[in-house]
Amino acid sequence: MNGLSKTPFARFYACQPSQRSRTLTDPANIIEFQNVHKSFGSLKVLNDLNLEVAPGEKLALIGPSGSGKTTILRILMTLETLSGGHVMVDGDYLWHEQKDGKLIDASETHLHQMRSEIGMVFQHFNLFPHLNALQNIVQPQILVRKTAKAEAREKAMELLGLVGLSEKADHFPHQLSGGQQQRVAIARSLAMDPKIMLFDEVTSALDPELVDEVLNVLRKLASSSDTTMLTVTHEMNFARDFADRVLFFDKGQIVEAGKPEDIFTHPQEPRTRSFLSKFISVS
């Protein structure tokens, strides 16, 4: 356990207890992007982005590669900084904090605390190879949440059941298929009780025959969980099933947003229709 306390996972999720000050914002929103800009050198990835997400809402982010979708998730996970604007999460500034009546850049303590409410599942599974499936879910709870071992184990088994892997609890990552590894990664993130879950093209590294088993888990989560979820995906049929709202991005901006049945059946913007025509029939 002492060795694990210095692993990338522990450093990534660790948070220090602190008293957080609430900031006035719309209580109907758990996430707000306010005039957000993000550039990498001369490349502008997000351009004056405004976005509001309600608690429990399930969003699918679609659009061409390089349109800024994954950057949104990485900003929320504090993996990318802002070039301009503000982001609010659950009533607090994410990348800023208030001190002596002024808004200043967030400290590492503040970022750690904010990050503790957000879970992210990446394209690659990032499981610890020397831990079995159960231990991969148990250890973060013990190290980060300080959960008692028995309680952490009980929760881990429950989550393995949720993702259909109860019988694989003692299997190590190299003994699992890619789809099974991704399902363990999803269970591990859920074990941290995040208010917000982010999924970044979670099937892109999988063989085609393994995609459905992961997407079916996400469909189950979307229908049964009140956790706010954002997913970046190129799986249009999944986005239709998963999302309460679909956002189509292009060149760092939201070109069109709406209910899945509207976006996928009668998109209003020519750019949306052009993109979707490569995947489905649209009118």
**148 vs 145: CA distance, rounded Å:** 9
Element (H, E) at 264: helix 260-265
Domain count, the chain: 1
All residues at 6 or more sequence positions from 58 whose CB lies less than 8 Å from its CB, including other chains: 222, 228, 229, 231, 242, 243, 244, 245
Structural domain of 127? 4-15+36-276
Tell whether 283 is covered by a domain.
Answer: no
Question: Sorting pLDDT into bands at 50, 70 and 90, what band is 26?
Answer: low
Over range 24-39, report the average pLDDT. Answer: 85
Q: Residue 51 above 90 pLDDT?
A: yes
Higher pLDDT, 24 or 102: 102
Domain-embedded: residue 54? yes
Asked whether residue 25 is domain-assigned, the answer is: no
- What does the pLDDT read at residue 27? 63
The model's pLDDT over 73-105, given as tens digits with 9 standing for 90+, comes to 999 999 999 999 999 999 999 999 988 889 999
Q: The domain that contains 262 carries what CATH number? A: 3.40.50.300
Report the range of poorest mean pLDDT among 95-104, 126-135, 256-265: 95-104
The phi, psi pair for 27, rounded to 5°, reads -65, -15
Q: Do the Cβ atoms of 259 and 244 come closer than 8 Å?
A: yes
End-to-end CA distance of the chain: 57
Higher-scoring residue by pLDDT: 39, 24: 39
DSSP alpha helices (H): ranges in 163-256? 178-190, 208-224, 236-242
In DSSP terms, 247 is beta-bridged to 61, 257
- Is 31 within a domain? no
List Cβ neighbours of 222 (8 Å cut-off, separation of 6 or more). 58, 229, 241, 242, 243
Q: Summarize pLDDT for 180-208 with one digit per residue, the tens.
A: 999 999 999 999 999 999 999 999 888 88
- Integer CA distances (angstroms), 142 to 6, 17, 127, 164, 189, in order: 13, 16, 16, 23, 13
The band of 128, judged by pLDDT with boundaries at 50, 70 and 90, is very high
Q: What's the pLDDT at 281?
A: 73
Using an 8 Å Cβ cutoff, are 146 and 5 in contact?
A: no
* Residue 58 falls inside a structural domain: yes
pLDDT band at residue 225 using 50, 70 and 90 as cut-offs: confident
Calculate the average pLDDT of the chain: 89
Residue 135 pLDDT exceeds 70: yes
Q: Which of 20-29, 157-166, 235-244, 268-277 has the lowest mean pLDDT?
A: 20-29
**Mean pLDDT value across residues 3-12:** 38
Name the residue among 177, 135, 176 with its Cα closest to residue 156.
135
* pLDDT confidence of residue 283: 65
- Structural tokens at position 122: 């990446």
pLDDT of residue 123: 85
Query: Which residue spans within 194-282 are E strands per DSSP?
Result: 196-200, 228-232, 245-250, 253-258
Residue 175 has a CB neighbour count (10 Å cut-off) of: 12
Decide if 23 is inside a domain.
no
Q: Give the pLDDT band of residue 24 (cuts 50, 70, 90).
A: very low
Give the relative orientation of helices 149-162 and 178-190 as an angle to the nearest 10 degrees: 130
pLDDT, average across residues 251-269:
96
Q: What is the pTM of this model?
A: 0.86
Percent of the chain with pLDDT over 70: 90
Q: What is the DSSP code string of 4-61?
A: GGGSHHHHHH------PPP----TT-SEEEEEEEEEETTEEEEEEEEEEE-TT-EEEE
> Is 26 within the bounds of a domain?
no
Compare 258 and 8 and report the one with higher pLDDT: 258
281, part of any domain: no
